[in-house]
Structure 1
Amino acid sequence: MSMKPEEFEVYVIPPNFMEGGTLFGGLLKTRNTIEAVILGLAVGVPVLHLPFSLTVRVVILCLTALPLVLLALIGVSGMSLSAFIRLFFCFLHNRRILSRDGTQGGKNGKTLLPSWAQQRKSDCEAEDPPLPKSRSRFSVDLKQRSVTQFKTFLQEEEAVQPLNALADYIPIEKIEHGVIYTRDHRYVKVVEVVPVNFLLRSAREQRSIIYSFISYLKIAPVKVQFKALTKRADINRHLDTVRRELEHEQDPRCRVLQEDYLKLIRQLGSREAITRRFFLVFEYEPLPGTKRGHEEEDAIASLQTAARTAANYLRQCGNEVISPENEDDATAEILYNILCRRASSEPFYQRVKSVLADYMAAGRDINTIPVNEFYAPDSIDLTHGNYLCVDGLYYAYLLVPSDGYKARVPAGWLSLLVNAGDGIDLDVFLARQPKDRMVRKLGQQLRINRSKIKETSDTNTDFDDLDGAIRSGYFLKDGLSNNEDFYYLNLLITVTAGSVDDLEWKVAEMKKLLLSQDMDVQTCSFCQEQAFLSSLPLVSLERQLYERSKRNVLTTGAASCYPFTSYEMCDDNGILLGVNKHNNSLIIVDIFDSRVYKNANIAILGTSGAGKTFTLQLMALRMRRKGIQVFIIAPLKGHEFHRACSNIGGQFISISPASQNCINIMEIRKADKSVDDLLDGPGAEKSLLAAKIQRLHTFFSLLIPDMSHEERQLLDDAMICTYGVKGITHDNASLEQPKHPGRYKEMPILGDLYEILAASPETKRLANILNRLVNGSARSFNQQTNVALDNKYIVLDISELTGDLLTVGMFVALDFVWDKAKENRTAEKAIFVDECWQLIGASSNRQAAESVLELAKTIRGYGGSLVCATQDLNDFFALDDGKYGKGIINNSKTKILLNLEEEEAQRVQGVLHLSEAELMEITHFERGSALISTNNNNIAVEIKCSQMEKELITTDRRELAELAQRAAPKQHPC
């Protein structure tokens, strides 16, 4: 099964080695044939004795016995006629409507507990002595929104009847210690697993995940259930966050932007947003000799250990197992989301409050509420053969039959079903079989099949079936001898819809989808109730469904069913980037969440015209909407940022010789250190003048690269003298105005320093070079700061600077940004650098590149984020053999890859370790598509923006022409 390292492996799911007998060359199943013969005789013999002519009797036989015989030979829905008839009459016997008040509980006072569950319960009670009726009670702290559980044991006659009669229908007795106690005396544990983006991994990474999953399956409990729950994304928490931010926004233009963002989220949430949750479910298997009195303690300890083991092994696959603070509360919430899909749009704590209110209104003791009350639906309609209805939502169940699987599958092939769309759930059941028993059965069946095939002609239909069963038997036998285990695999698909028509359409589409993949699927006709109860996270697949759908697999085949393949990024406190192209989930990212991301830096890479500037500005606008301080440094095409900046009340600062804007490079800015003092306590006072002069040395080294050590010392003396003229010394108290405490004195400008340098022959050369910024063409740098520096959205346009002035302007911008970024380590701030290759590429110099790299390395410590966007990757990695480009990439936890040319994509592939599939994808991206790489997961996303955002930040010529045409005054005819 091993293949080339670059290729994806193929795994084998062999046909069942034990097949039912066939007759007449494999045309007919033995059971169907026997039933057809019996039915034909039962109907045909009385017809032959009728007092009619032979012709009439033959006609009657053709109209009665012949159709029945053909129907018996063919079977119905993969079952024999007798099995189907039995199932149909069982359905008629059990069909009923269950309601909250219990008044519609079926015919003749039928109990709400399903008949098959009653039978299994009675069987258990016949084997073991009856246990006392136990109930789980919840008390709720409404402030903490948490559920605490208390255990009581009541006699049957003392048990409190629930207000919702359907609470007794659910086959769960109680939830305690995070363990579900079922009514048939089993102990079940449910854990939630965070998936990985498996499909976009390289072949090597996929193999590594599958082999790690194999390791887990070998030590996993005997019976496990993997459940994938798909539903419309609950965006209410994100909307609540946006509304709170809207309440605190003072700028009316930003409020308009936030309201527009709310509309966009609602639109996407109602149309495209889908979320998936994955659960691992396993039950306690008691060891031989376990005493009945100690079984509960052993079960709890065993299941808790199994959960920790699963977390450790799945972590090797890249998955995380969620560890809730209150396991009972989390388990009840999971059941609530599964059983009350429509009602679960409201949070679970609201459901708890509602149940408590109902019990208090009824004058009932809230400490005696059965646990099932908190997740029981209000009604279940079981009167239809092909579907059921729960709280107005329609359910249909599909089963992959034993012969409906593909024999050869790729790793993670279940992602086809996991990502099928809204309202499609998947349950995967794996049951490990005793190896020694299966080896004996394999040996016996192989001998039987070999003897059968000797008697069968190779032209018979069953020859291929027997040959396949023999090959399967040898494959399984070899696998068992090579340290693999034997499993039975079952797949159950849940389809939900808001109406019967939608349900039928979804079922038909699912059948088409599986048929296109050479798979078969059957509707669970007349056994929808059994399928409904089997789909609960209780590791309990109804026996008839189990027999119809079980498929034998070895450990490697079972591992190929790795289900945790649909990764999502949805942080309630983040910003929307777009929609996941593979599973339609919303991509809402909070890059400042240090629990998820090691740093908040982002690198945006793409070719010219791919949408880098658009993506960068979209992120900047949405961060500003959240109240995050935003700085944008634009070394190229700064005018593209002006429209958005002016329309949301931002500050656009143009740093160029022709501009009237100026940020005084010599200004010592007052910084708010109150947060630092609270966090660290009063520290040793440092000279602000010394720190400023140190940064000015960097500025002048950029302006005068060939400065000698002697000139550097003379410059230092001149700067101290310049500040001294203004009364500023190394004593920080000298900065404040005597008449206005808390305000700094007027700062010197470059002209003041120039005069001191020009007065000394030793520094005349330095003065002559500085003269360009004082009296020459770049005299705009020789002013006091004349722009507002406290705006939440500041654009620093340095695109009109060239040559050595570009590095000067870059330093002015970074010096200001650094001062603001360091003020409060607890406040979020983001620095955006567009066309970063201009600053760290081959045409730049090392000092400017070092400044950007230092920013990337250290801004995390100040609660900030650096977002760099670049094209021309060859130039980006050119300076010092790519030291600065690679440094920025390596210090950016999140990368956003837009469309790249083939050569650029191959270069990025080596840096980011992209798979061939990802490489192909990014070279064929249309504008508006991107690949987000973060936390070892790669996600293809379609960037989403509103019409208002698009008009503010678009750089497309055609769209700009339309905007200009709409903005131009209309010409009225004379």
Structure 2
Amino acid sequence: MKKSIMPVKKSGISKRKIFMSLKEPDKVNVPQPQCTQDMIEIKRIAPNGIFQVTEEKWSKSYLLVDVNYTTKTYDEQLAFFYDWCKTLNSFDVSVKITVFNENRNMQEVRERILYRHKEDGYDWLREAYNDIIESRIVEGRQGICQEKFITITVVRKDYEAARAYLSSLESSFINNFAALSSAMIPLDANERIRILDSFYHLGNESEYDYKMEEALLQGHGFKDELACSVMDFDSYIDRFYMDDKVGSILYLDPESYPTSLSDTFFKELTELPIHSIYSIDYEPIPQDVALKTLEDKLMGVENTIAKQQDKRNKRGAFSSDISYKVRREKKELEHMLDELRDNDQKMFWVGVTMGVIEENEDKLETQLTAINQVVEKASMRVIPYYMRQRQALDTVLPIGGRYVDMMRALFTSSAAAFVPFNVVEMQMMDQPFYYGINQVSKEPIWANRKKLMNGNGFVFAVPGGGKSFTGAKMEAGSVFLNTEDDIIFVDPTLEYFDVAEAYGGAVINLATYTDKYLNPLEVDLDNLDIDDTNGQVRDKCSFMLGICEQAMDGEILPEYKSIIDRSVRKMYKRIAALPREKRSQPIMSDFLEVLKEQEETEARKIKLVLEIFVEGSLNIFNHQTNIDIENRVLVYGLRDLAGDLSGMAMLIMLENIKQRIIKNAKKGRATWLYVDEFHVLLGKPFSRDYLIALWKQVRKLGGLCTGITQNVIEVLKDPMTSTLVSNSEYTVLLKQAAPDAAVLGKALENISEAQIKYTANPKPGMGLIRFGNVIIPFDNVVDKQNPVYDIYNTNMHEKAAKKQAMVGFE
């Protein structure tokens, strides 16, 4: 009789037989293999990833995206567990969930994430960063990379019928897992073969180069790629050998399942840092079959009770009761029937299989002992598959077949206890930067903000929480050392001058006492023309309107705007009329001279207001630029600005930054802008509006803006700046004050109460980090002995103490 997951209506076949037949194992395709290829239980593969497993069984696998389950509160986990049960209830075909702790090629990882030397004078800093990264890799599960898969298997007569059925199932499965905030990513044939190859050829993953289309042209089958030279399942009853590796496949003893299983058990098992693979097979039992089987069993128990009572009555033992064992069995069966009928429960045959592979038998025994300890702690047993290692291996792999039958009938709520979710990781492998480690899994966090839809971001923390050190300087250092991108800091507290010094940057300290000047009227003289075809003059007209509004302390009347616009255009037209070799950049006094030529009374009023900024004591912007503004690293210091000058200075600074970003965009170069004490710029109406406009435009110009400030509340209370937060896909949350922590749920989607607790009282450099929809509790603390710490540290007390210690040492 062929297996089926659908109720069989044929007369003469009892529900009990159907019930038991559902857990019957598949038969291997080649009972007497002549070569190692014969031991791989796949008949055929299609480019779209559909495997023919047996004559009428077909499977398709998906990468299963993890969910932040561990970091949820108890109530959040309960709600998630309920949704997970609903997802299990939706299974009406054979499903295998696989957690694969595969080998990670650490040499390849290091080549991708360690900062490469460039012989540019900064390799000592790259080494300092590499020391940080290496130390954190060692802390984590070095050499292990965990992936999760779900494999759906259906029974159909041919490929076309299977493809159509799998296609119809796919959308509902994807929607169900999306409701859990997870995702199912379909795997094609090459990707599925790659996963299997990672197990069969542990340690040689870098040699994998199978491409189905090329292999077919060359006459090579997929089994030639997968097969080992040696696959020995006969020398020992409880282990197998593949080339120079030894492994063992085990099962979770169905008889040892406890009445109640902790939802942390499967996580603890799969988190063991060993090369291993774990699969949970779910075989759904049709409701009518489950009900009829239990009803028949209950009827049998009731008959037993009746017979026992008759015997007692014949002996005259009217007061004695039936045996405890039978009474308990009846009570359990009645409870099970109630669960099926009334409590939205389904029944599944569930089997848990696990495989371990190692370099030698000593290491294998060590890893098997570790598994035993976790299982025994949960009051269960794990047993090797004796004399069935071959069948068990083809079961545990995400192929789709099941060749063993060690399964237990469980209700949905019990089957759901094997929660396959743990915590989300962020490990982009395309030109990533290091952002610390995941506090839960200890896995390194590698990411590239350029790959986000909107790479703008925010850093929030109380004073001393590590805003500038962790939120800006660490990342900016990675940018400087690994790219050719430009970096700009807006520095209201003069905390970034050390970074400029370390990286050979330029400092523009906007203050009345400075001798370093910035000309706000600079344009591209070579491309300036009378007709303003490239819009430079129009931009400067708009900019000068803002400057004059700031100087006149409020919105100006239309007639003033006309005069300002006319004067700016006249000034640049005169320059454009000159031969290129005779052109020079105008300064503010040139603009004032043009204003003097205007006959209107309003022109004289504008001139009078601007005099202090051009000819008076606040004339720092009436000079030609004498700073290296082409430097890759620029720091704009704002701390010592006089009150009357601050608003204008901020506008001029933002205009200068905008022009730099535009110029870089034309070169195809990215610009990273860090605005510390973000609230300072928001406090001035003109700079606030300009900054908001810049924030919205910069993404299209290859720029990445980061706002750094203390209070989430302060940014969220303004609808415009609140929009900036919601539209930015990068956020760092270090230590938060209680009022700010209370509103984080509104500021960020998908953040849980349990995650917010990571911002309650962490060490500087620890908290939450968000990339798109991924939120991770992170740890980016830097050892105080590392040179990076000395460069980026802003703690004046620590700096003073270290300086004093150095004096004492000398």
- Whether these two folds match at TM > 0.5 is yes
| Shift in Å, 1:188 | 2.5
Conserved? CA contact 1:198–1:412, under 8 Å? no
Partner Cα separation in structure 1 for residue 247 and residue 534 of structure 2: 70
CA-to-partner distance for each residue in 1:11-59, whole Å, 9 max, x for gaps?
xxxxxxx9xxxxxxxxxxxxxxxxxxxxxxxxxxxxxxxxxxxxxxxxx
Give the direction of change, closer, same or farther, for the CA distance of 1:905–1:242 in structure 2 (3 Å limit): closer
The match for 1:739 is 581
Partner Cα separation in structure 2 for residue 461 and residue 796 of structure 1: 89
Give the direction of change, closer, same or farther, for the CA distance of 1:944–1:370 in structure 2 (3 Å limit): farther
Partner Cα separation in structure 1 for residue 326 and residue 371 of structure 2: 27
Conserved? CA contact 1:196–1:318, under 8 Å? yes
Partner Cα separation in structure 2 for residue 506 and residue 659 of structure 1: 67
Match of 2:424 among 543, 551, 567: 567
The match for 1:70 is none
Partner Cα separation in structure 1 for residue 763 and residue 651 of structure 2: 36
Conserved? CA contact 2:489–2:496, under 8 Å? no
The match for 2:537 is 689
Q: What secondary structure does 1:695 align onto?
A: helix
| Shift in Å, 1:800 | 2.4
| Shift in Å, 1:619 | 0.9
| Shift in Å, 1:702 | 2.3
Give the direction of change, closer, same or farther, for the CA distance of 1:832–1:539 in structure 2 (3 Å limit): same
Check if 1:811 corresponds to 2:651. Answer: yes
Give the direction of change, closer, same or farther, for the CA distance of 1:259–1:483 in structure 2 (3 Å limit): same
| Shift in Å, 1:871 | 0.7
Match of 1:891 among 727, 743, 749: 727
| Shift in Å, 1:259 | 5.2
Partner Cα separation in structure 2 for residue 491 and residue 820 of structure 1: 59
Q: What secondary structure does 1:918 align onto?
A: helix
Give the direction of change, closer, same or farther, for the CA distance of 1:499–1:601 in structure 2 (3 Å limit): farther
CA-to-partner distance for each residue in 1:552-594, whole Å, 9 max, x for gaps?
123x55455452444221111221112122223321112222x
Partner Cα separation in structure 2 for residue 950 and residue 859 of structure 1: 31
Give the direction of change, closer, same or farther, for the CA distance of 1:405–1:579 in structure 2 (3 Å limit): farther
| Shift in Å, 1:392 | 4.4
Alignment of 1:253-292 (within 5 A): 253-258=121-126, 260-261=128-129, 264-265=132-133, 268-269=136-137, 272=140, 273=142, 274-286=144-156
Check if 1:534 corresponds to 2:395. Answer: yes
| Shift in Å, 1:783 | 1.2
| Shift in Å, 1:488 | 1.5
Q: What secondary structure does 2:43 align onto?
A: strand
Partner Cα separation in structure 1 for residue 330 and residue 517 of structure 2: 83
Check if 1:228 corresponds to 2:99. Answer: yes
Give the TM-score of the pair, scaled to structure 1.
0.70
Give the TM-score of the pair, scaled to structure 2.
0.82
CA-to-partner distance for each residue in 1:400-452, whole Å, 9 max, x for gaps?
32254454567787444444444353211100113222211101222344566
| Shift in Å, 1:385 | 5.6
Q: What secondary structure does 1:782 align onto?
A: coil
Partner Cα separation in structure 2 for residue 394 and residue 672 of structure 1: 71
The match for 1:318 is 181
Q: Which structure's CA Rg is the greater one?
A: 1
Match of 1:583 among 432, 441, 444: 441
Conserved? CA contact 2:647–2:687, under 8 Å? yes
Partner Cα separation in structure 1 for residue 75 and residue 622 of structure 2: 59
Match of 1:471 among 332, 338, 341: 332
Partner Cα separation in structure 2 for residue 452 and residue 374 of structure 1: 58
The match for 2:477 is 621
Q: What secondary structure does 1:781 align onto?
A: coil
Give the direction of change, closer, same or farther, for the CA distance of 1:122–1:641 in structure 2 (3 Å limit): closer
Give the direction of change, closer, same or farther, for the CA distance of 1:352–1:948 in structure 2 (3 Å limit): farther
Conserved? CA contact 2:548–2:606, under 8 Å? no
Partner Cα separation in structure 2 for residue 800 and residue 392 of structure 1: 69
Give the direction of change, closer, same or farther, for the CA distance of 1:658–1:865 in structure 2 (3 Å limit): same
Aligned length: 760
Identity of aligned residues (%): 18
Alignment of 1:206-221 (within 5 A): 217-218=88-89, 220-221=91-92
The match for 2:459 is 604
The match for 2:45 is 175
- Which residue type is aligned with residue 711 of structure 2? D
- Which residue type is aligned with residue 568 of structure 1? E
Give the direction of change, closer, same or farther, for the CA distance of 1:202–1:970 in structure 2 (3 Å limit): closer
Partner Cα separation in structure 1 for residue 643 and residue 340 of structure 2: 69
Conserved? CA contact 2:486–2:670, under 8 Å? no
| Shift in Å, 1:623 | 1.8
Partner Cα separation in structure 1 for residue 443 and residue 164 of structure 2: 37
The match for 2:661 is 821
Which structure 1 segments of 5+ residues have no match?
1-17, 19-115, 126-155, 357-364, 674-682
Partner Cα separation in structure 2 for residue 603 and residue 446 of structure 1: 63
| Shift in Å, 1:235 | 5.8
Partner Cα separation in structure 2 for residue 459 and residue 697 of structure 1: 102
Conserved? CA contact 1:718–1:757, under 8 Å? yes
Conserved? CA contact 1:193–1:564, under 8 Å? no
- Which residue type is aligned with residue 926 of structure 1? K
The match for 1:787 is 627
Partner Cα separation in structure 1 for residue 320 and residue 231 of structure 2: 51
CA-to-partner distance for each residue in 1:939-972, whole Å, 9 max, x for gaps?
111126583433321224465357646876964x
Partner Cα separation in structure 1 for residue 328 and residue 80 of structure 2: 33
- Which residue type is aligned with residue 58 of structure 2? Y
Conserved? CA contact 1:181–1:187, under 8 Å? yes
Check if 1:852 corresponds to 2:722. Answer: no
Give the direction of change, closer, same or farther, for the CA distance of 1:213–1:970 in structure 2 (3 Å limit): closer
Give the direction of change, closer, same or farther, for the CA distance of 1:525–1:297 in structure 2 (3 Å limit): closer
| Shift in Å, 1:617 | 0.9
Partner Cα separation in structure 1 for residue 755 and residue 566 of structure 2: 57
| Shift in Å, 1:332 | 1.2
The match for 1:25 is none
Match of 1:400 among 235, 238, 252: 252
Which structure 2 segments of 5+ residues have no match?
1-15, 17-24, 313-318
The match for 1:441 is 293
Conserved? CA contact 2:85–2:416, under 8 Å? yes
Give the direction of change, closer, same or farther, for the CA distance of 1:604–1:655 in structure 2 (3 Å limit): same
| Shift in Å, 1:700 | 2.5
The match for 2:486 is 630
Give the direction of change, closer, same or farther, for the CA distance of 1:282–1:719 in structure 2 (3 Å limit): closer
Match of 2:586 among 726, 732, 748: 748
Q: What secondary structure does 2:449 align onto?
A: coil
Give the direction of change, closer, same or farther, for the CA distance of 1:347–1:968 in structure 2 (3 Å limit): farther
Conserved? CA contact 1:601–1:894, under 8 Å? yes
Partner Cα separation in structure 2 for residue 672 and residue 348 of structure 1: 53
Partner Cα separation in structure 2 for residue 524 and residue 514 of structure 1: 13
| Shift in Å, 1:665 | 1.0
CA-to-partner distance for each residue in 1:842-873, whole Å, 9 max, x for gaps?
xx122222222222222222222111111134
The match for 1:522 is 382
Partner Cα separation in structure 2 for residue 912 and residue 789 of structure 1: 36
Partner Cα separation in structure 1 for residue 644 and residue 414 of structure 2: 64
CA-to-partner distance for each residue in 1:764-805, whole Å, 9 max, x for gaps?
554444344334443332211112222222222223225343
- Which residue type is aligned with residue 719 of structure 1? V
RMSD: 4.0
Match of 2:191 among 310, 330, 337: 330
Partner Cα separation in structure 1 for residue 178 and residue 532 of structure 2: 45
Give the direction of change, closer, same or farther, for the CA distance of 1:643–1:233 in structure 2 (3 Å limit): farther
Alignment of 1:320-359 (within 5 A): 320-323=183-186, 327-344=188-205, 346=206, 348-349=208-209
Q: What secondary structure does 2:625 align onto?
A: coil
Partner Cα separation in structure 1 for residue 320 and residue 107 of structure 2: 63
Partner Cα separation in structure 2 for residue 797 and residue 489 of structure 1: 65
- Which residue type is aligned with residue 173 of structure 2? A
Q: Which moved more, 1:458-467 or 1:868-877?
A: 458-467
